[in-house]
């Protein structure tokens, strides 16, 4: 299946000069969504994860069904101030400023293998911050899976030696 055919290109969003890759048509196409989930499941299995970590918010869309398919726990990584219990936080840089991500301090056991999932790999800052959170609470990174990768932004390079998988790549 040509998954790129179900990604909508939206020019000048959220600002002039940006070509936004919109996944909502993919989400509305059960066959396309199933193909994405099949590919993520196949790839994740190769890394023997013990938990799936999804990055707020679109990582939840792909991470929770992946965790269900693999019979693994799902761990949400949330934006600042959204988790109610003891948490660890990491501040990181975005293209347009600073942000913070949180994870519950007890979300993973010491050494537990986590597979990180999100819809998009762009500059790699959010994924790297998530990896740091997983490691801060004692987990290890089994790998990372993304639906879309914007190769020109070199996010994969920022992620160093972490295993990275993406389904749809744009130059």
149: left (phi over 0), alpha (psi -120 to 50) or beta: beta
Residues in CB range of 125: below 8 A, 6 or more apart: 92, 93, 94, 155, 158
Question: In the block, which residue shows the tokens 């070509």?
Answer: 19
E strand intervals along 12-163: 19-22, 51-55, 74-79, 87-94, 97-104, 113-121, 140-150
Catalytic residue among 41, 50, 58, 151: 58
Does 58 qualify as catalytic in the annotation? yes
Does 8 qualify as catalytic in the annotation? no
Nearest to 51 by CA among 33, 66, 35: 66
Active-site residues: which are they? 58, 95
């Amino acid at each position: 299946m040509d998954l790129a055919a179900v990604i909508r290109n939206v020019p000048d969003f959220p600002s002039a000069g940006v070509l936004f890759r919109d996944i909502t048509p993919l989400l509305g196409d059960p066959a396309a969504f199933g193909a994405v989930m099949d590919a993520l499941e196949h790839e994740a299995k190769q890394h023997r994860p013990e938990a799936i970590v999804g990055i707020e918010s679109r990582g939840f869309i792909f991470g929770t069904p992946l965790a269900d398919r693999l019979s693994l726990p799902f761990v949400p990584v949330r934006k600042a101030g959204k988790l109610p219990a003891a948490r660890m936080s990491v501040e990181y840089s975005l293209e347009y400023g600073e942000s913070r991500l949180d994870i519950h301090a007890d979300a993973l056991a010491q050494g537990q293998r986590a597979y990180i999932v999100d819809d998009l790999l762009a500059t790699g800052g959010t994924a790297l911050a998530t990896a740091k959170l997983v490691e801060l609470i004692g987990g290890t990174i089994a790998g990372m899976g993304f639906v879309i990768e914007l190769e020109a932004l070199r996010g994969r390079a920022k992620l160093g030696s972490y295993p990275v998988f993406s389904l749809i790549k744009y130059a």
